[in-house]
Amino acid sequence: MIGDFENSLQEEPQTREQQVLFYAAQGMTDKEIAHRLGISRETVLTYWRRIRLRHGSASRTEVVAKSLQIKASEKINEVEDHNQRLLFEIAERKRMELLLVQASSRLRTLMDALHSGVLFEDDAGRVSFVNHAFCTMFDIPFRPKEYVGQEHKNLIQRAKKVFTDGNAFADRVTELERLGEPVREERFELIDGRVFALDYLPIDPSASVQGHLWHFRDVTDTAHIHRRLDEHREKRRFVSEMGAELILVTNDAARSTVAAYLERLGTSAGADRAYVSLAGPDGREADAIQWCAPGIEPKESCVPKYKGSQKAWWLQRLHDSSVVNVDAIENMPGDATDEKAALDQSHVRSLMLVPVSAEGRFVGYIGLEAVREPQRWDEEVSSLLEDTGRLVSALFRRPEATRTERSA
């Protein structure tokens, strides 16, 4: 900086008067100055008279000294201004660095407090940051800081053990890094039945910070809701298809068509038996169609054969338009002892019966039974049984002529 200042004092000025002062300060005589500038000595003396008048000095030495002092003062001020700007820039950079450190600290604190797992991998494939939730979600021991600096693939190898297909998960992670394209909501199923969603974000190579950001969220509840919605849509579609086909079915094909739909219904509900039992005018079973899963013996009648069966506990409930839903036969009420014994004979472990009505009158029921393993059927299945029973009831109660006409 001092050298620059001294050089600035040695810079040759532009005007003639400044040039005369400049060369005089170098120790040159008027004659030498005149020769250097290519003018006469008299002209140099004319410039000196003007300079002395402007500076109010009688001697040449005083004029040169004042001129150098003014120029030096100007350069000092210029240097001081430059130094002030540098000091301000340095202070501003320090302030920005402090803000970045504080922001980074707050961001790390925030990510550590998240219930979702976060892992940041640098461009060299090493772990730069991993939060507590990540370690907890993947059952990884030790504190997160102990994994910083390790290779990212080591953590992935540990994490893949919780997935139903860990190798497929690890291969997908490698593929995402290779493709370098952002991914959101890619789902993976865990051994314990949970579902994790992966969000992947590659950091722009042109940015000052480069790498890969991995974000894992437990979306088990949401996944189950979506699965239930899909199941609901499938069941509604099942009823619609059944209704459309039964409108045109002929009498000869009626039983086989209903049996086929009972098979679909029982299979989708995880049942071992599915049946429709229609009652005659006397309340006894007039017609029935039954489906059984492979290896399950069919029942002789959908109505258990024991004394007083027409007054059975479940028939009373069905006549009252109530759904019979028994998760475990041993949990049936005390007044259903005979019914429980009859079901034991058929090896029934769970039971659901839904009443079928026509014009406000009980005309039968549609049922599901579990034989091999107990089942817990919800209101969705009950609603599906009700719709299916209503369609079957309409089929068997309409005149043959109407059915044949519609099938033509």
Edge-first strand listing for the sheet containing 195-203: 127-130, 117-122, 211-218, 195-203, 183-189
Residues sharing a CB contact under 8 Å with residue 400, sequence separation 6 or more, in sequence order: 251
The pLDDT value given to residue 294 = 92
> Looking at residue 110, what DSSP letter applies?
H
**Is residue 109 in some structural domain?**
no
> Looking at residue 197, what DSSP letter applies?
E
**In the chain, which stretches have pLDDT less than 70?**
1-14, 55-58, 97-114, 205-209, 223-253, 280-285, 301-311, 393-408
**Whether 286 and 243 share a structural domain:** yes
**Whether 233 and 279 share a structural domain:** yes
Check which CATH number belongs to the domain holding 90 and give it.
1.10.10.10
Residues sharing a CB contact under 8 Å with residue 242, sequence separation 6 or more, in sequence order: 261, 388, 391
Q: Tokens 């899909």, residue?
A: 230
Report the domain count for the chain.
3
Domain boundary residue, one of 69, 98, 127: 98
Closest C-alpha to 326, from 288, 269, 367, 294: 367
**Is residue 330 in some structural domain?**
yes
Note down the domain range covering 31.
2-98
Mean pLDDT of the residues in the chain: 76
Q: Tokens 């993947």, residue?
A: 138
**Whether 273 and 402 share a structural domain:** yes
Closest C-alpha to 60, from 72, 51, 70: 51
Check which CATH number belongs to the domain holding 152 and give it.
3.30.450.20
Phi-psi region at 38: left, alpha or beta (left = phi > 0; alpha = psi -120 to 50):
left
- pTM of full prediction above 0.85: no
Domain boundary residue, one of 170, 199, 218: 218
Q: Tokens 């910070």, residue?
A: 209
**Whether 270 and 357 share a structural domain:** yes
**Whether 55 and 181 share a structural domain:** no
**Whether 22 and 67 share a structural domain:** yes
> In this structure, are strands 285-292 and 361-370 parallel, antiparallel, or unpaired?
unpaired
The pLDDT value given to residue 314 = 78
**Whether 91 and 123 share a structural domain:** no
Residue pair 305/342 in contact by the 8 Å Cβ criterion: yes
Q: Tokens 């045109």, residue?
A: 248
Domain boundary residue, one of 162, 186, 218: 218
Distance, CA of 311 to CA of 295 (rounded, Å): 31
Closest C-alpha to 188, from 212, 162, 213: 162
Q: What is the pLDDT of residues 176-222, one digit of tens each?
A: 988 888 988 898 998 888 888 999 988 776 655 578 888 898 888 77
Residues sharing a CB contact under 8 Å with residue 276, sequence separation 6 or more, in sequence order: 258, 262, 288, 289, 302, 356, 364, 365, 366, 388, 389, 392
Check which CATH number belongs to the domain holding 394 and give it.
3.30.450.40
**Whether 94 and 144 share a structural domain:** no
**Whether 283 and 381 share a structural domain:** yes
Nearest-5° angle of CA 13, CA 14, CA 18? Answer: 55
